[in-house]
Amino acid sequence: MQPIISAENLGKQYRLGSQGAAYSTVREALTNAVLSRREGGRENGSASPRTIWALRDVSFEIRPGEVVGIIGRNGAGKSTLLKVLSRVTEPTPGRVTLFGRVGSLLEVGTGFHPELTGRENVFLNGSILGMSRKEILRRFDEIVAFAEVEKFIDTPVKHYSSGMYMRLAFAVAAHLDPDILLVDEVLSVGDLAFQRKCLAYAKTLQKNSATVLFVSHNMFTVTSICNRILYLSDGRVRFDGASEEVVRLYEQENRSNGGAQLSNGVNGHSAQHPISITDVTILDEAGNPRQVFNYGERLRIRLRFEAKQSVKNPNFVVALIRSDNVACCNYSSAVDGGDMLSISSTGTVEVLTPPLKLISELYTIHVLVWDREFQRLYFSQQTGVSFQVRHPLFTTHFGVFHEPGQWVWKPGEQTAPVTLLQQGIEQQQEVEQR
């Protein structure tokens, strides 16, 4: 299958400091010309002190219908790559080939005029993106309903909040019916409900064989809809592969660089507490590091601690906090029968959870250490270590968790309830007898 996007040896170089002076003397102009010539003659195209490479030697191919995430730390070149792909800026070296209609949402309200109303900006932005007036008229009601700005559609957008701006801009770009949709981190501006709405729409575009590329720092969002991720680092493609593998590499490197910071405990600095947590690791049941778990898998959480003094009957508690700050469940060493008589130095404690019944979402670990009666708090810490539970159906519409119930039904006039499980067993027995 022919790729719908092909990037070959892309690079983007910016000159530093050249935009600062509005006017210059003849002498400054001559000096700058000499410097430019010297910089251009450097071997191997190395950047001079007055230039910086935002992208360097970036090559990849994307097939029709793929939904590809682009991740990386701030300054890695993610937004620059989308700007090059959307033709907002030209690459310094390299070439981009795209086949099909391209819709892009790179910044909140890109293509909007603040003095025009929402209605007028829909037509303006739609025209910039390549929609005909007839097409905009046909899709107008859908765009406004999706953006949820019906009451304000005839209000100048300068009075819109950033969230309203983003919703309307995304609605126009998405209803372009693009073959390729490029989305930057602007979805973080919207509320949680609208983010999910946009992701659901992205999945709809995928079913219609559209190709979606989007930049995000939300690993849950990326892994929930992408099978492939490009990981950028210092303007280069650090890794290109399966979502879980790339996210695992990204989070491991961030942890090694101090990415997962352990916050201070409550009631003063953590150094004042008799117990401190020095490391938190998330593992699967077999003891392998993991960040993504399927619904029904078991989670192993390993805590390394240091006791500055002797503490009798410590009660280690691990709470699982959803991304919207809902406390979903917790495990207690005292309540769960994992008693420890006393600790006075360093050590390790682990908890292996039951099969996870939490709905598909992103969760963060919160560690507390109490006494056995939950009267004295020795330590409390939001660790910053996170993991994702994945399931194609169980979302927040199902609440916090899902446990299968036992259902019964009464066919016809029958009064005795028949469980669906029992019905299945009886049907299987009839088949075996035949």
Which residues does 382 contact at the CB level (< 8 Å), separation at least 6? 263, 321, 364, 366
232, 256, 280 - which closes a domain: 256
Estimate the share of the chain in helix, then strand, then coil, as percent rounded to the nearest 5. 30, 30, 35
Tell whether 136 and 203 lie within a shared domain.
yes
Tell whether 311 and 199 lie within a shared domain.
no
Residue 285 domain-assigned (yes or no): yes
pLDDT at 43 over 50: no
pLDDT at 264 over 50: no
Q: Any idea of the CA torsion for 319, 322, 323, 326, to the nearest 10 degrees?
A: -100
Residue 186 domain-assigned (yes or no): yes
pLDDT in tens, 276-321: 888 899 999 999 988 888 899 999 999 999 888 888 889 999 999 9
Tell whether 284 and 239 lie within a shared domain.
no
Residue 65's domain is classified under what CATH number? 3.40.50.300
pLDDT at 382 over 70: yes
Residue 352's domain is classified under what CATH number? 2.70.50.60
Backbone angles phi and psi of 221, in degrees to 5: -60, -45
pLDDT in tens, 137-196: 999 999 999 888 899 999 999 998 877 888 888 888 778 778 888 887 655 555 667 777
Nearest to 293 by CA among 405, 152, 394: 394
Tell whether 173 and 293 lie within a shared domain.
no
Tell whether 186 and 332 lie within a shared domain.
no
- Average pLDDT for 384-392: 80
Which residues does 78 contact at the CB level (< 8 Å), separation at least 6? 70, 71, 72, 184, 215, 232
Residue 323 domain-assigned (yes or no): yes
**For the chain, how far is it from start to end, CA to CA, in angstroms?**
49
pLDDT at 41 over 70: no
pLDDT at 6 over 60: yes
Tell whether 98 and 232 lie within a shared domain.
yes
Instruction: Provide the number of structural domains found in the chain.
Output: 2
Looking up tokens 């391209």, which residue turns up?
Answer: 102
Tell whether 210 and 107 lie within a shared domain.
yes
**From the centroid of its chain, how far is CA 266?**
28
226, 256, 286 - which closes a domain: 256
Residue 26 domain-assigned (yes or no): no
pLDDT for residue 267? 41
Backbone angles phi and psi of 140, in degrees to 5: -55, -50
pLDDT for residue 137? 93
Residue 262 domain-assigned (yes or no): no
Residue 424 domain-assigned (yes or no): no
Tell whether 212 and 65 lie within a shared domain.
yes
Q: Decide the pairing of beta strands 292-294 and 95-98.
A: unpaired
Tell whether 224 and 289 lie within a shared domain.
no
What sign results for the dihedral spanned by CA atoms 332, 338, 339, 344?
A: negative
Residue 426 domain-assigned (yes or no): no
Nearest to 32 by CA among 14, 18, 16: 18
Domain extent at residue 281? 270-397
Say how far apart CA 262 and CA 265 lie, in whole Å.
9
Cα atoms found within 13 Å of the Cα of residue 354, Cβ hemisphere only: 8
Tell whether 251 and 341 lie within a shared domain.
no
Residue 314 domain-assigned (yes or no): yes
pLDDT for residue 268? 40
**Which one has a higher pLDDT value, 214 or 369?**
369
Tell whether 297 and 234 lie within a shared domain.
no
SS3 sequence, 55-75?
A: EEEEEEEECCCCEEEEECCCC
Q: Please check whether residue 299 is in contact with residue 284, taking contact to mean a CB–CB distance below 8 angstroms.
A: yes
197, 231, 256 - which closes a domain: 256
pLDDT at 119 over 50: yes
Looking up tokens 């575009």, which residue turns up?
Answer: 205
Structure tokens at 242: 């399966």
Tell whether 224 and 324 lie within a shared domain.
no
